[in-house]
Structure 1
């Protein structure tokens, strides 16, 4: 969403003082977050131990009964809420404050950042160490944290089993053999370990997360963690479910599968949840996801049903251990829903000879974003359910009232869109919904002495926004601009026209590209001679769309101060949830149950808790969004009234179509070296980069990303800092 900054300017002494204050506050908050998070992890480490069960739990339960919720909440719920839910909700809420202050501070202080070479140890940990087709590209830091996470799961399972095996004698009266009781214990405890995965599972898929940016991550770069955690948890939950079915069969208790207990867990709810989980898991494997993405996409939307029956199965006390991730994800998902209800004004579509289309949308001037941000686009006339991610190629400072994306004519959805827009009878208006933009909270590209960007095909689009941003930064005094090397591979020579998008058409004549050191090496892999067909002599065509009062410019769903309002929503909805639970328990459940946990239905509590979570999120988020819409009504009316070159009758191709050669881009052409019929020797090119700090960005096919990662991780050079840009949705 609103994740960027605008052009840096020279700061006054007063501004510098404010900046230092904000910087100090952010440093203090970061230390506090680290302490709270380490404490939260320590609780997960202690949870399966004897000490936690026999010493900590009785003391915590006794203290919980003395709180406001007193005997009204069963102690396990209050304890888990305090220990496992509150710390993450605290970090999420105040993390928004941290990011809000960071946005204000970074607004004018791009020049205050440390160079990449100043942190050689951190650079080493970010270097790829494992490149595999199944796992992808794994850095040293990711490998270390993965090893620690696996160690936590092994530790937890070992301690759970150790504690449970010591109490097997209590079940001997049932007449079951000791080995059967051990089998049951293992089947139960593996689900406890799977729950650890679920405590982290939803963080990577929360697009506007306030937690991921605290550790330098985005949702797009974290999707692989969601995939890993999902596979591990499903292996454990499958072992749990199948294990219990086998146990019930061995002990002649198969009817337990139909049990829905009034005072304890519901087996039926667990089985229903397991069926939904299996459906999502079966369609999430890479081969199925790639070949039948729609099946994967629609099946994955069974997650609300899975969560609902999972909650009915385990109950709210145990669900509190994973509640933070679910709560934050639901807030993000509802805000995305509210943003997607707005119809966005599509101003124009520009067609390149390579059958790529630049879509230009109206944008609120207050919406800012960083380079390589993405938006999700839905066009109901093409498909009502499909949402497709695209990189934003425009710069919010170069073009404050426009947001642009590039759609390559690849795939059925893109081909249908191209046919609709390029036909002589194209519609005068196209309904479009957009979610985003989403992206990193800062632009680290200025830290390097040399920025190498390696792209394949449409993978050049993130680099268009990065190059535009650096060109703009070059106009700011006091900012050191890195030298740039763009290595791009295309199949056909017609695709070279994608390079024309490096400079926006609306401001191309006013941009001085000579301020930056930009070198472009373009490789056309399937042609050994320059094409002379008429297709490559096509003009750039533009079609304009009529404005409509129902269409709005793209804006952040929570306004320019997005992080501030997100923090308010997180804290307010969570506090409201606690208050509603307290009122419900005190004035409704307690008069019936009298704190016996034997009268009021176990699943009934879970239903109330689910209802309150949804109501609190919907009420608070809706109120904030509606207030923001009213505050920006005047601004939106002004934007809608901005004059644009739109046909007065029906839409059509602009009469000012121009050839590529006629555009004022001589500097760009001089910086470009085209190689026909060959592929780039990436190893040679990268090893020839002698600057002390070289940022290597790659976006393209998996084979290309892996090749660049292996080169950077070879250990033959120390100055290459690797980062892959990939969209695995």
Structure 2
């Protein structure tokens, strides 16, 4: 008998294929001459008018998939994961093998290359069909206009149509709590590069679209058209404004500028709200329906994140390492579950009320039921200010807001026979959560892979990051059950520095306030079901209100007079209703759940906070190693430190003789690319590459 999650996934796949088929047929004569007249006759009622067809064909399928994905994730997460079935994903591993490793594209797997080629084919197919149809029925917009000028205008217009296709997919990767991405094996963090690719491609196409029209207006002496705000058709001036905003967002997003001036990139990127508004006014409600579903799901996620971020998280303690790394330990509710390599976004109002920064969760929700820990490496101005705040002896409380955690829905790495974790610098942080989870799994008499951790640090003091593998609130005495080996490389120092120059590790506790709350699931234990309810109810309410406004307000104006309801006002009604229903439905469910959760939160606040049990020293950093406890002893004995050397990754990986070796890498781009090339070489079929990168 077919299981419920499998059935849901099949329905999802059928709807997704049908939605893609609509995009494929959209530029064809069949859609224009056969489908469009019939659909308009049946769907363009007085309740939805010209937007009815696109609401059904483009908006509804994606919203349905979003709600269906919530049901799938609820059913999937309720069932225990089979961690021993290493063959269950064997057929897909060939598609995950890197085939293209180059800058600035990065690491591209076989599956990504296939989908990129298919998406490129869709764009080429659409553009060629649009041009073929338009050239057959070429329309002259000005008396005396030449044929080549009309064709040039047509090409410029159709390039904008192709950019609209990119925009239809643009917001899916940045929806952090997405119910669609997990169904195709993705997370928001792993697919952020697709947002980058689509963003650059769409900006390039829209730039060609804008420049093309300015050239057309110049050669036909119609430059005044750029200032036209039409009442019945496309608003050219809104398009010019949207293009100007897009340029301000696009330039700081290039990697070199983004890394050097991150704050400029951060603030200019928030202009997307204005860009969407003027873009929508430019294209009108019909084309807006094509990109609306991605924006709709993003708005639901964004508003829920806003509601979560209004609360102060209960910060319990901070472990300050001499390597300028800070471990923050927060209180959490026991029902908050997440998988290793998850992330949270943190805001400290005392430093900046607007800036949110992502950090890796290093704790295991199975090992630490009431604690969520993150590691923060001091690298930029924001993290430097945070480090200084935490280092202050007078500080006994710090207001911190948290969004998340977000991450994978499965712990698929446990299926491997052997794990090789390759890290550089702060890239070790996602592996700390994996190691903590493996320590827990080793006590459950379940399959646990052998682990080889290869970590490279610049300085000897950075070895203190290995201390984060043991929780400040205590570790299990059965850590020796884990088959574990650490190869640590110090690249800039050739010997251990004098002991008197080594600083101790500091642990600082904080006093909670009544306004502090444990980090919890946004919508409770049945989070995905409630999210599905929000998506469904919001969309139904949107359709109801849009139908009422159109039928009883807009339609009478257009039907009872010679006047036409303003093009811009139709768009504003559409955007306002979309935003309003999302806010109302999301807020209602969130506040209802918070009321139910108030008593539990108060009970957690009254529970005695665990006391840090680790010593102020380091078990690996310094000559006097802490060997009095079994966890420390096991890790020290498993660690080899190499001075003045870099890891020979090729030799290390080829020496792995296991039949099924998972290779996870996180660190500098050159390191990730080197490991990817080794795994893609085909010289070792047992190596299965997976990249973990947060440096987008």
Which of the five TM-score ranges fits, normalised by the shorter chain? over 0.9
> Aligned partners of 2:338, 2:90: CA distance in 1, in Å?
28
Residue pair 1:523, 1:678 contacting (<8 A) in 2 also = yes
Out of 628, 648, 654, the position equivalent to 1:687 is 654
Describe how 1:388-427 pairs up with structure 2 within 5 A.
388-425=357-394, 427=395
Q: What is the deviation of 1:588? A: 1.0
Q: Give 3-state SS (helix, strand or coil) of 2:79's partner.
A: helix
Measured against aligned partners, the alpha-carbon deviations of 1:237-256 in whole angstroms (never above 9, x if no partner) come to 11111111111122222111
Measured against aligned partners, the alpha-carbon deviations of 1:648-672 in whole angstroms (never above 9, x if no partner) come to xxxxx99973453336210111111
> Aligned partners of 1:705, 1:514: CA distance in 2, in Å?
30
> Aligned partners of 2:618, 2:123: CA distance in 1, in Å?
61
Q: Give 3-state SS (helix, strand or coil) of 2:68's partner.
A: helix
Residue pair 2:464, 2:618 contacting (<8 A) in 1 also = no
Residue pair 1:339, 1:435 contacting (<8 A) in 2 also = yes
Structure 1 residue 45 corresponds to structure 2 residue 17: no
Structure 1 residue 115 corresponds to structure 2 residue 86: yes
Q: What is the deviation of 1:595? A: 8.7
Structure 1 residue 59 corresponds to structure 2 residue 38: yes
Q: What is the deviation of 1:119? A: 4.4
1:74 — aligned with what? Answer: 49
Residue pair 2:472, 2:613 contacting (<8 A) in 1 also = no
Describe how 1:512-523 pairs up with structure 2 within 5 A.
512-523=478-489
Q: Give 3-state SS (helix, strand or coil) of 1:643's partner.
A: coil
Describe how 1:458-537 pairs up with structure 2 within 5 A.
458-477=426-445, 479-508=446-475, 510-536=476-502
> Aligned partners of 1:82, 1:447: CA distance in 2, in Å?
42
1:241 — aligned with what? Answer: 210
2:72 — aligned with what? Answer: 98
Residue pair 2:472, 2:614 contacting (<8 A) in 1 also = no
Q: Give 3-state SS (helix, strand or coil) of 1:219's partner.
A: coil
> Aligned partners of 2:512, 2:361: CA distance in 1, in Å?
22
1:5 — aligned with what? Answer: none
Residue pair 1:203, 1:212 contacting (<8 A) in 2 also = yes
With 143-152 and 658-667 compared, the bigger mean Cα shift is at 658-667
Q: What is the deviation of 1:521? A: 0.7
Q: Give 3-state SS (helix, strand or coil) of 1:321's partner.
A: helix
Measured against aligned partners, the alpha-carbon deviations of 1:608-629 in whole angstroms (never above 9, x if no partner) come to 1111011100000000110010
Structure 1 residue 370 corresponds to structure 2 residue 335: no
1:649 — aligned with what? Answer: none
> Aligned partners of 1:282, 1:46: CA distance in 2, in Å?
34
Measured against aligned partners, the alpha-carbon deviations of 1:573-614 in whole angstroms (never above 9, x if no partner) come to 011000000111111111111299952111111111111011
2:526 — aligned with what? Answer: 561
2:231 — aligned with what? Answer: 262
1:15 — aligned with what? Answer: none
> Aligned partners of 1:258, 1:540: CA distance in 2, in Å?
63
2:643 — aligned with what? Answer: 676
Q: 1:45 to 1:645 in 2, by over 3 A?
A: closer
Q: 1:469 to 1:677 in 2, by over 3 A?
A: same
Residue pair 2:530, 2:589 contacting (<8 A) in 1 also = yes
Q: 1:137 to 1:645 in 2, by over 3 A?
A: closer
2:622 — aligned with what? Answer: none
> Aligned partners of 1:654, 1:667: CA distance in 2, in Å?
17
Out of 44, 47, 57, the position equivalent to 1:83 is 57
Q: 1:347 to 1:53 in 2, by over 3 A?
A: same
> Aligned partners of 2:385, 2:9: CA distance in 1, in Å?
48
With 633-642 and 378-387 compared, the bigger mean Cα shift is at 378-387
Out of 404, 412, 427, the position equivalent to 1:444 is 412
Q: Give 3-state SS (helix, strand or coil) of 2:341's partner.
A: coil
* Unaligned segments of structure 2, at least 5 residues: 620-624
Q: Give 3-state SS (helix, strand or coil) of 2:46's partner.
A: helix
Residue pair 1:353, 1:535 contacting (<8 A) in 2 also = no
Q: What is the deviation of 1:173? A: 7.0
> Aligned partners of 1:59, 1:355: CA distance in 2, in Å?
66
> Aligned partners of 1:42, 1:595: CA distance in 2, in Å?
39
Out of 605, 608, 625, the position equivalent to 2:573 is 608
Q: What is the deviation of 1:645? A: 6.7
Q: Give 3-state SS (helix, strand or coil) of 2:256's partner.
A: helix
Structure 1 runs of 4+ aligned residues shifted over 4 Å read 595-598, 653-656
Residue pair 1:349, 1:421 contacting (<8 A) in 2 also = yes
> Aligned partners of 2:565, 2:517: CA distance in 1, in Å?
49
Residue pair 1:544, 1:645 contacting (<8 A) in 2 also = no
Residue pair 1:353, 1:539 contacting (<8 A) in 2 also = yes
1:195 — aligned with what? Answer: 164
Q: 1:463 to 1:595 in 2, by over 3 A?
A: farther
Describe how 1:252-401 pairs up with structure 2 within 5 A.
252-401=221-370
Q: How many residues align?
A: 688
Residue pair 2:341, 2:407 contacting (<8 A) in 1 also = yes
> Aligned partners of 1:465, 1:187: CA distance in 2, in Å?
50
Scaled by the length of structure 1, the TM-score of the pair is 0.92
Residue pair 2:537, 2:585 contacting (<8 A) in 1 also = yes
Out of 501, 507, 523, the position equivalent to 1:542 is 507
1:143 — aligned with what? Answer: 113
Q: Give 3-state SS (helix, strand or coil) of 1:221's partner.
A: coil
Q: Give 3-state SS (helix, strand or coil) of 1:390's partner.
A: strand
Residue pair 1:73, 1:595 contacting (<8 A) in 2 also = no
With 366-375 and 407-416 compared, the bigger mean Cα shift is at 407-416
Residue pair 1:485, 1:521 contacting (<8 A) in 2 also = yes
With 440-449 and 382-391 compared, the bigger mean Cα shift is at 382-391
Describe how 1:125-140 pairs up with structure 2 within 5 A.
125-140=95-110
Scaled by the length of structure 2, the TM-score of the pair is 0.96
Residue pair 1:374, 1:390 contacting (<8 A) in 2 also = yes
Q: 1:718 to 1:595 in 2, by over 3 A?
A: farther
Measured against aligned partners, the alpha-carbon deviations of 1:180-207 in whole angstroms (never above 9, x if no partner) come to 1101100100000111100100001111
Q: Give 3-state SS (helix, strand or coil) of 1:520's partner.
A: strand
With 297-306 and 342-351 compared, the bigger mean Cα shift is at 342-351
Q: Give 3-state SS (helix, strand or coil) of 1:171's partner.
A: coil
